[in-house]
Amino acid sequence: MFPCSAGVFKGYFREKDISAIQPEETAETRFQGPHENQERAKHNQQQEAKGPDPIERKRLTPRRAMKNLGFPRSRRLARQFEFRRLYRAGQRKSNKYLTVYTCPANGRRGKVGIVAGKRLGKAVERNRIRRILREAIRTNQHGITEKKDLAVVVKSPALELPRHELVGQLLELLRKSEAFNA
């Protein structure tokens, strides 16, 4: 235990030592509300009448443009039978980092699937590669033909590649497989 006994502290903290006098309230408050400062209230009303700031307008414009670059679930391969069909009937082009399977879409709009198997590593690494490839496909979709289904299979050396090199390898394979026209 402690070298000093409990008796030393006996009576040290008592109510008679605490002051009963409350501090006086000051007239000024530290934080003013919007109803207290009339200038601030007028400024807020003027801002609401004007609409969003020019900075806000600039920020909203690219978001509308991004709608055209969306990558909805209807454009993604999700079912196992869709991947099997690509593996069996599709053409294959590959390099050290990726393999791309292409197959005609049979009159409908083409879909894209990205495969990153468990042998690549932990989920964080697999998801990172998927995000990079999905973003590359989304931003370059204007050049990808809509008449083909695509499956991109990631190989383990792709984990060491920086983002821009991985995207370059993907676009090169898509050109070889005649799925990219830009």
According to the model, what pLDDT value does residue 9 have?
Answer: 55
Q: HSE (CB half, 13 Å, CA atoms) of 28?
A: 1
- Angstrom CA distances, 87 to 48, 82, 95, 130, 138, stand at 57, 9, 16, 19, 23
At residue 74, the pLDDT reads 85
Instruction: Note the Cα 48 to chain centre separation in Å.
Output: 31
pLDDT digits (tens, 9 = 90+) for 72-103: 888 889 899 999 999 999 999 999 999 999 99
Residue with tokens 């109510």: 15
pLDDT at 55 (0 to 100)? 52
For residue 47, name the pLDDT band (cuts at 50, 70, 90). low
Strands (DSSP E) along the chain, which ranges? 91-94, 98-104, 112-115, 148-154
Q: What is the pLDDT of residue 146?
A: 87
3-state helix, strand, coil in the chain (%, to 5): 50, 15, 40
Q: Is residue 133 classed exposed, middle or buried when 0-12, 13-18 and 19+ CB atoms within 10 A define those classes?
A: buried
Which residue carries 């509308």 as its tokens?
64
54: Cβ contacts below 8 Å, ≥ 6 apart:
none
Quick check: 46 and 40 in contact, CB under 8 A?
no
In CATH terms, the fold of domain 73-176 is: Ribosomal Protein S5; domain 2 (3.30.230)
Is the separation of the CB atoms in 101 and 153 below 8 Å?
Answer: yes
Question: How far is it, in rounded angstroms, from Cα 85 to Cα 90?
Answer: 7
Sheet holding 112-115, edge to edge: 91-94, 98-104, 148-154, 112-115
